[in-house]
Amino acid sequence: MRRVLFYGWVVVAVTAVVAFATAGVRAAPGALLLSMTQEPGWTTASVSFAAAAGLIVFGLSGPLSGWLMGRIGVRNVVVVSLLITAGSLLLSGLVREIWQLTLVFGVLSGIGSGLVASVLGPTVATRWFVRHRGVVTALLGASNSAGQLVFFPVLTTVAVGAGWRAGAVLLGVLSLILLPPVLLWLRNDPAEVGARPLGVTEGAVHVTRPPDRGVMRRAVRTSDFWFLAGTFFICGATSNGLVGQHFIPHAVDHGFTPVAASEALAVMGVFNFLGTIASGWLTDRWDPRKLLLAYYSFRGISLLYLPFIHDTVSIGGFAILFGLDYIATVPPTVALVADRFGRHNVGVVYGWVFAAHMFGAAIAAWVAGIVREHVGDYAAAFVAAGWIAIIAGFAALAIRRPGSDVPTTVETAPA
């Protein structure tokens, strides 16, 4: 009997919920930072270092996740991720020293959430979809935006009313709640349900290929990998690292309340959702390199504008502008990785590209905290980030796509 619903959409739905919760874990340091600095001896710089440590391992967990998914399966990796994340966040409610915060709330939760944050969405999109792959990648990326939309104001409100530990415990409980739907409905690939990826040509045989052996040894010898990693490094620095971690403290410095600042982030999340969906649609139709040029340039201009904001209308305008391309860079970046290094290698190669993203985020989060401690505001950090983002846009044009001098990988063969 012919299926009415392609099972890949069920997998997308479960993955989207997991991505939504992961966004909450990623939003937590930025939403809870002010509450954490009220602890005796915990400064903005020291809490920023704990957040930076989490971002580093968050990024490094991406390549590990890509490797694990190819060997123990997508579902098992997600289960392990949720268990580690839940344990670390519940333990965070007990910490009293800054080194404990760095280890448990930073490193351990970074590993847990990082196992699914970067690679899960692209892996699901490339395994289950040929048609609509860009849109699916965008949908899963936009789930992070929806998480930001919900968790920034929720966690900020919880922190103001009950302290940051209550927010951490809330996220830990949510991670445990997600285990049953993952075990019941998440599947590793179409073959497990007797299906083929949506859009595979009729009469073609699809084989789910494991990543090529030594793919990263070959990838790091190409300039394309380094342009992808370098531009995504700047993406992480200017989004998750700078805005994600320090937007609320910056807004408070400019006269806004923490709750009002978190509401601006919620607006950013709404437009991030819209911008990422639109980016996926555009990625299926336009040159991803030109899209990246537009996105990074647009981001740079909005960051240059941020230090001059002191009123509600202006901060709302920034939230809209920045939100439109907060993670709109993901669909074209994933598409370029798949085109250049092969769809079956996306999990591994994109995992390392995403690791660069989170290294950038970690450095920006830490450095911005130091700038705030020594200079008294974030203006220099935001202005520098704006110009660097514009440079990244032009650097993206140097990435090659498959052609006569660039190898491609074919995943289907005639029956």
Q: DSSP string of 34-92?
A: HHHTTSTT--HHHHHHHHHHHHHHHHHHHHHHHHHHHHH-HHHHHHHHHHHHHHHHHHH
Question: Which phi and psi angles does 38 have, rounded to 5°?
Answer: -85, -10
Look at residue 332 in the predicted model and tell me its pLDDT.
92
**Six token digits for residue 101:** 């915060």
Look at residue 209 in the predicted model and tell me its pLDDT.
65
Look at residue 403 in the predicted model and tell me its pLDDT.
52
In angstroms, the CA 64 to CA 351 distance is 8
Amino acid symbol at 233: F
**CB-CB contact of 77 with 65 (8 Å):** yes
In angstroms, the CA 185 to CA 231 distance is 35
Beta bridge partners, 414, equal 204
**CB-CB contact of 389 with 322 (8 Å):** no
Of 145, 150, 147, 143, the residue nearest 125 (C-alpha) = 143
| CA distances in angstroms from 207 to 68, 134, 217, 228, listed in the order given | 19, 21, 24, 27
Other Cβ atoms closer than 10 A to 71: 10
Look at residue 281 in the predicted model and tell me its pLDDT.
85
List CB contacts of 266: < 8 A, sequence separation 6 or more.
148, 149, 150, 152, 153
In angstroms, the CA 198 to CA 115 distance is 26
Containing H/E element for 282?
A: helix 258-283
List CB contacts of 129: < 8 A, sequence separation 6 or more.
8, 136, 197, 198, 199
pLDDT along the chain (415 residues), means of 10: 74 91 80 83 83 82 81 91 93 88 90 83 83 80 74 83 88 92 90 81 57 82 93 91 84 84 81 84 88 93 88 86 84 88 80 86 85 84 93 93 51 36
**Six token digits for residue 267:** 């607006």
In angstroms, the CA 327 to CA 265 distance is 14
List CB contacts of 108: < 8 A, sequence separation 6 or more.
84, 87, 88, 91
- Domain residues of the chain, as ranges? 8-197+211-402
Instruction: Check if CATH label 1.20.1250.20 holds for domain 8-197+211-402.
Output: yes
List CB contacts of 56: < 8 A, sequence separation 6 or more.
110, 358, 359, 362
Look at residue 122 in the predicted model and tell me its pLDDT.
78
**CB-CB contact of 320 with 357 (8 Å):** no
Q: DSSP string of 346-368?
A: HHHHHHHHHHHHHHHHHHHHHHH
Is pTM beyond 0.85? Reply is no
Amino acid symbol at 296: Y
| CA distances in angstroms from 222 to 59, 107, 340, 342, listed in the order given | 21, 31, 10, 14
In angstroms, the CA 228 to CA 215 distance is 15
